[in-house]
A and B are shown apart, each in its own frame.
Chain A
Amino acid sequence: MLGVALRRVAVGVPVIVGVTVIIFFVLRVLPGNVVDVITQGAPTTPGERHDIIVEFGLDKPVLAQYGSFVWDALHGNFGISFETREPVISQIGSQALATIELTAAAMALTVVLGVGLGVVSAVFRDTWIDATIRAVTLVGSSMPIILTGPLLILLFSFTVHLFPANGSGTPSELVLPAIALAMFTTGVIIRLVRNSMLEVMNLEFVTALRAKGTGEARIWLRHILRNALVPAVTLLGVQLGGLLSGAVVAETVFGRQGLGSLLVTGIQDKDYPIVQAIVLIVATAYVVINIVVDVGYAYLDPRVRTRLAR
């Protein structure tokens, strides 16, 4: 158990370090002169330029700048925003909750609908129920958020006045963006649960259960589903990445607050400290959650434990 955890962390740490390297060097080297970025091309005196260089630590060698970027990030300090000249972390802190809310709501929808409809689809395989679920899934997961967003707003905000079209704060404002965001990942999970249930269904132990006289409901829910959920859990960790990047689009579509819309404005304003901080935080969260999923999973399933420990 501990071995699995250590192994995953040993892989995870260099990955995060690599991410910091990409984030720092791409956003420091590619844009050209950082002072020009900060001044937005406005005319400046040499004195003002010197002040900016000192304020943002640009007089130090690049490697030292990278070092202090990582060191400060470890302490929760992501520098000063080019735009507002305020600490980045305070701006992010106020937005993170909205994004966590949205992603968690979408994840909950994905789990409930994905597993639920996956089971229904597997139990009623090759009937019209299965066919309907598959067709709806295909269409739903092929629609990009930039289409589902406006469509949902059109249908449920303006045609039927059920939910507000935009805003963030109240639960009812969370419904439409969460649905739009969960559409794709739900499709993936339905597909996976159905297919892996159909695979487990043909294993010998199921025949043994039937021979023993176990009821169908119990066989499906207790034995087949449980085994079929094994790959679904891992895939959920991976799908979190899809939800996080979808949240960037969904927040803009639905005019919500959050890290995604902050990131988009940060990119538009060339406010690199904001961009660096958000990307780094999202990537770290993604990696950490996947490590937790893997370890938790090895804890639950001894077969995985031996596989991961190899």
Chain B
Amino acid sequence: MDNTTAPAGTATSVLPLLAGRWGGRPVWRRRWLPRGRLMRWLAIAFLALLAGWALVPGLFASGSPTAVNPVAALLGPSGHYLLGTDQYGRSVYTELVYGARPALEVGLACTLIGGLTGSAVGIIGGYLGGWADMAVMRLIDILLALPGLFLALIFIAALPRTVPNEILAISISTVPIFARVLRGQALQVRSLLFIDAATVTGVRRRAIVWRHVVPNCMAPAVVLAAVNIGVAIVVAASLNFLGLGPSEGVLDWGALIASGQNYINQDWWISVFPGLTVALLVIAVSIIGDWLRDAMEPSSG
């Protein structure tokens, strides 16, 4: 069980907990999700299904997601309309399928851009130490003082509503989390003996960073990235729900939920099914994230 391996006194060590250091894994990050292969395979299957939707939507849904058909408006789930129809008579299922690509694009792009930037900043600060680390720490503190959505919202407010700008805003809000975790990891790696050995034998600093520090920081970055894809998709869906998404009318799950909310009384399927899709996606990536963590860090399980 997960409770037996805890080092004595962990509950009292507050600073590592706040700093989110990977080695002394923060208490709230410890195993929580159901173990077992079944859950893992279900999660993989669901993500594969979403990937299929995103890559070849035409294979999974017939007809166009935007074809308006007033005669068939607001029909409940049936054999013909698997998840019912919305107020314009469009099949909710088809909209879900076609919404997968923009959602996954945003999730992956934000995680890639924000994750790489944050990781680079964190590793530089953690490895170099000194004033560079001070600067990185202060930057992280400042960005984290703008909780969750707020950091993204500042950029959403300032920039025109386009998909690239939405990606930029969410990417920026991803940076501090990656920077904090990777800084901690780089600090730990730096204190390991083989780094000293490399330094003493005259390996150049750049080579040490690329050959030794970066590879040893990969595990937490990959785990964080897996989970962050889900987070970014939720943030994007929430922004679109609030009417702050791209203005060019991208098909989006969040916007679908928002439009369905006016009909929630009778025609609940418009909001509920896209919402469930997002929730299942979050659960699936958490399971995958936990699995990756176990696979990559056998010592901390």
Contact = CB atoms under 8 A, between A and B. Distances in A.
B205 interface: no
B146 A279 contact: yes
Contacts, number: 207
Contact of B142 (A15, A26, A244): A15
A105 interface: no
B168 to A, nearest CB: 10
Interface string B150-166: 10011111110000000
Contacts of A242: 147-148
A146 B153 contact: no
A99 interface: no
Contacts of A154: 264-265, 268, 272
A150 B271 contact: yes
A260 to B, nearest CB: 9
By size class, the interface of chain A is: 35 or more
Contact of A138 (B11, B28, B283): B283
Nearest to A265: B243
Contacts of A54: none
A18 B142 contact: yes
Contacts of A286: 145, 147
A199 interface: yes
Nearest to A235: B28
B11 A268 contact: no
Contact of B14 (A31, A201, A231): A231
Interface in B113-141: 138-139, 141
B14 A230 contact: yes
- Provide the main secondary structure of the chain A interface: helix
Contact of A27 (B9, B158, B258): B158
Nearest to B13: A307
B82 to A, nearest CB: 19
Contacts of B275: 143-144, 146-147, 150-151
A257 interface: no
Contact of B11 (A19, A137, A227, A240): A227
15 contacts: A18-B145, A146-B258, A150-B260, A150-B272, A150-B275, A154-B265, A195-B30, A228-B11, A248-B242, A249-B238, A267-B244, A268-B243, A275-B154, A297-B14, A301-B12
Interface of B: 1-4, 6, 8-15, 17-18, 27-28, 30, 32-34, 138-139, 141-142, 144-150, 153-159, 234, 237-238, 241-244, 254, 257-258, 260-261, 264-265, 268, 271-272, 275-276, 278-279, 282-283, 286
Interface of A: 11, 14-16, 18-19, 22-23, 26-27, 30-31, 125-126, 134-135, 137-139, 142-147, 149-151, 153-154, 158, 165, 188, 191-192, 195-196, 198-204, 227-228, 230-231, 234-235, 238, 240-242, 244-246, 248-249, 252-253, 263-264, 266-268, 270, 272, 275, 279, 282-283, 286-287, 297, 301, 303-304, 307-308
